Amino acid sequence: MPEQQGSRLQQLDAAHHLHPFTDSQALHRKGARVIDRGEGVYLWDADGNRILDGMAGLWCVNLGYGREELIQAAERQLRQLPYYNLFFQTTHPRATELAATLAGLLPGDMQHVFFTGSGSECNDTVVRMVRHYWAVQGRPERKVIISRHNAYHGSTLAGASLGGMKPMHAQGGLPLPDIVHIDQPYHFGEGQGQDPHAFGLERARQLERKILELGPERVAAFIAEPIQGAGGVIIPPDSYWPEIQRICRQYDILLVVDEVICGFGRTGHWFACEHYGLEPDLMCMAKGITSGYMPLGAVAVGPRVAGGLIDGGEFFHGFTYSGHPVACAVALANIAVMRDEKIVERVHTDTGPYLQQRWASLADHPLVGETRGLGLVAALELVADKSDNRRFPGERGAGVICREHCFGLGLVMRAVGDTMIISPPLVISRAEIDELVDKARRALDLTYQTLN
């Protein structure tokens, strides 16, 4: 794309486009970064710069850019049936085929799915489904859903309410009633000096204390991401999840696992539930289900809730684009490629361990207080002083400085405060992992120079 075209787009953009999760004043000062095309794990911006996409778009482009199989599946479906809906006892072949295909992949004995258009819509669906389920059981007072501070479950009213992002709650008077939050299992950020095992148990037992405080008869469900993504790739200590599962069972609380980021191979399993041995009642999927080529979400429903919903007659809920045929066709092609190319196995045994080993080598850098990761998702913590993991004062903007150096070097790495995170396409090769980690180290060096 000629450079002139890039700046023309920036002008039009500044004049007419309100962006999601963007400081509009900063945008007006600098202009939007215009991403023009992608191939494999690389993006090209409007100035022709090649950038390694260390975030797979927004954690979703798992098969990388430009996959013909997905493009052709979309084209075929657009010709055959570009749209039909799933309301009023209707289906179309791709939705039914995808539901059956997913049933073969889901953890435990989950056999049903409800389609949506996004991860946020999955979480809105969860709130309605969970409350409807308990009402059908004759327990309408079981309404409260417990989530966690610093969780991310989307941007709709229910998604943002289930999420634990304070700045989101502050805009618009959230959370909605009967959604409450407990602390997160963030050992580096909130458990320094404590034994990780004991910290994990302590954080899990907050759930039990909250259930007892509210009264178990009022609590409908607990929802969480297996690994918090947008919160900063927070990997709970191993003691955390088994204790959560125990508590949910003991108090008969539904367990809802949000696999919007973790699902479809990110952790080296089809779903992170397999890594943690979780048996959820409901599970949210989106993003990697189509490798981000089309918007699609799905809530997997275990036998207990599915039985309740079936007994409950009509569930007055659904979206025009629930299970859009083109999105379902792309999801089917995406899953077929993942199976044919053994992508999940590759992440589990090859590229995942390789990335983690290379990523851990960054721990010797003077700015790095901790590295962590699983499969093809990882984080590192920027610190001012490694001896006691003291952070930089927030106003120094260490994370943003590091992110900008990454961009300058041709790497997308995201900053969550001073936590740097990556989640590259699952098709990334060992050579591309080397490039990613080498660029990350150079960005850390430049960040160190800027800050000192």
Q: Which residues bind ligand PLP (CB under 6 A)?
A: 58, 118-120, 123, 152-154, 159, 225, 229-230, 258, 260-261, 286
Q: Name the minimum Å distance from CB 230 to ligand PLP.
A: 5
Order of strands across the sheet that contains 414-416: 368-374, 377-382, 419-422, 414-416
Residue 329: φ, ψ to 5°: -65, -40
Q: Measured from the CB of residue 212, what is the shortest distance to ligand PLP in angstroms?
A: 27
Between 117 and 308, name the residue whose CB sits nearer to ligand PLP.
Answer: 117
Q: Whose Cβ is closer to ligand PLP: residue 15's or residue 18's?
A: 18
Calpha distance 336→428 (Å, rounded): 18
Phi then psi for 332, rounded to 5 degrees? -60, -45
Whose Cβ is closer to ligand PLP: residue 63's or residue 437's?
63
The nearest distance, CB 203 to ligand PLP, in angstroms, is: 18
Smallest gap, in angstroms, from Cβ of residue 19 to ligand PLP?
Answer: 14
Asked if 199 and 237 count as a contact pair (C-beta separation under 8 A), the reply is yes
Closer residue to ligand PLP in complex, CB, 46/278: 278
| Cβ 380 vs Cβ 374: under 8 Å | no
The nearer residue to ligand PLP, 287 or 358, going by C-beta atoms, is 287
Token pair listed for 413: 């790495």
> At closest approach, how far in Å is the CB of 228 from ligand PLP?
8
Q: Of 146 and 444, which CB lies nearer to ligand PLP in the complex structure?
A: 146
State the minimum distance, in angstroms, from the CB of residue 29 to ligand PLP. Answer: 26
Nearest Cα neighbor of 413 from 447, 364, 366, 390 is 447
CB-closest chain residue to ligand PLP: 119
Complex with ligand PLP: residue 225 or 418, whichever CB lies closer: 225
Pairing of strands 254-258, 219-224: parallel
Closest distance to ligand PLP from the beta carbon of 368 (Å): 24
**Minimal CA–CA distance to 268: which of 62, 15, 39?**
62
Are 392 and 381 contacting, i.e. CB atoms less than 8 angstroms apart?
Answer: no
Rounded Cα gap, residues 259 and 275, in angstroms:
12
Closest CA to 107 of 279, 240, 238: 279
DSSP summary character for residue 393: P
Give the residue with the Cβ less far from ligand PLP, 278 or 286: 286
Tokens 């069972």, located at residue:
249
Residue 78 structure tokens: 């657009």
Q: Give min distance, CB of 118 to ligand PLP, in A.
A: 4
Task: Report how far residue 206's alpha carbon sits from residue 198's, in angstroms, rounded to the nearest whole number.
Answer: 13
Left, alpha or beta for 220 (phi > 0: left; psi -120 to 50: alpha)?
alpha
